[in-house]
Amino acid sequence: MSWLSQPKIYDHQIHESGIASDEALAMILDRYPAELLDINAYSYDSEGQVSLATGERGRADGATLLEAIKGGRVWVNLRDAHEAYPELWAHIQPKFDEIAADLGVKPIKVTGQLIMSSPQTKVPYHFDAAGVVLFHFRGVKKLWVYPTDEAHQPQESVEKVIMRVQAEELPYRMAFDDDAQVVELQPGQALTWPLYAPHRVENQGVFNVSLSLDFQTWETRLMRGAHYANGVLRRYGLKPAAMEQTPVMARAALWAASLAMKKANLAPNLIKDYERSFELSAQAKKKAA
Ligand SMILES: [Fe+2]
């Protein structure tokens, strides 16, 4: 199997089902399990460096929450949509099956997050340790997709993100943008990109709704485990080989080692829940006042 070397766009009609209408979104926000709903707010300095705050919905109902997203600067993530929102997933799964067949991948685990985001929202430079298909339903967003080389994505940072001793963000410099491929994503399009490719997103001044589908294959699972094991070994003073020069059997051995390392708790997860530092309904109230 060969992964893409370039971002690739597919067409879909899922947004035409009404699944991302205001009524449908308010309904799903009302009924979504609170423990699966994240509210994030990023702020940026003039160098493009990011800080993150997370919030709670308070007692806001779905319609109020939706208005707060439309008028705010937040990013609301409805996790595990593949289980918690079956009406949406009934549209996503058959389309994803087509895309997976086209990509020549055999997913062993698929998860989805429904994302509603404010008109000015930006998602900082990061990578996902899985394959991703981003189904876009409403609004317009611009994505920058960067090369996966050491300059844009140091292997040591990848290991730290996978070991969860560093938040998802990678070191970013604005000059990287010269090396990026830029895609403006419209409703009815779905985008995928090379495995692990760093990317960042900017909404184009309008409220956005997308479904981010993550998938693991045996290849992605071995790679993730190998990065984890390499990260632990690096802590003990060893210098792991570059991942692209690590053959699949060696990756498999590292993956197996990573399972034992996790059992031995050699890299405790330091990214516990971020402090819930603001309440969205309180912001909405302030705005309305
Ligand atoms: Fe991402």
Residue 232, in any domain of the structure: no
Residue 139, in any domain of the structure: yes
Taking the centre of ligand 1 as the mean of its atom positions, its distance from the CA of residue 289, in whole angstroms, is: 35
Taking the centre of ligand 1 as the mean of its atom positions, its distance from the CA of residue 198, in whole angstroms, is: 8
Q: Is 163 helix (H, G, I), strand (E, B) or coil?
A: helix
Number of domains in the chain: 1
Residue 32, in any domain of the structure: yes
pLDDT at 144: 97
Residue 222, in any domain of the structure: no
pLDDT at 217: 93
Nearest to 141 by CA among 75, 186, 199, 174: 186
Q: Find where tokens 């086209």 sit.
A: 102
Share of the chain residues as helix, strand and coil, in percent rounded to the nearest 5: 40, 25, 35
- Chunked into runs of 10 residues, the chain (289 residues) has average pLDDT values of 80 96 96 90 69 67 90 90 96 97 95 95 89 97 94 88 73 91 98 94 96 94 88 85 87 87 71 47 46
pLDDT at 164: 76
Taking the centre of ligand 1 as the mean of its atom positions, its distance from the CA of residue 160, in whole angstroms, is: 17
Residue 38, in any domain of the structure: yes
| H helical segments located in the chain | 22-31, 62-71, 81-84, 86-103, 155-163, 218-235, 248-263, 280-288
Cα separations (Å) of 18 from 15, 99, 113, 115, 244? 6, 22, 18, 16, 43
CATH code assigned at 66 = 2.60.120.650
Taking the centre of ligand 1 as the mean of its atom positions, its distance from the CA of residue 67, in whole angstroms, is: 25
Taking the centre of ligand 1 as the mean of its atom positions, its distance from the CA of residue 122, in whole angstroms, is: 12
Q: Identify whether the C-beta of residue 209 lies closer than 8 Å to the C-beta of residue 139.
A: yes
pLDDT at 205: 95
Is the model's pTM score more than 0.85?
Answer: no
pLDDT at 275: 42
Protein residues placing their CB within 5 Å of the ion ligand 1? 128
Q: Find where tokens 């309180």 sit.
A: 282
**What residue numbers bound the domain in which 50 lies?**
8-217+273-288
Taking the centre of ligand 1 as the mean of its atom positions, its distance from the CA of residue 103, in whole angstroms, is: 18
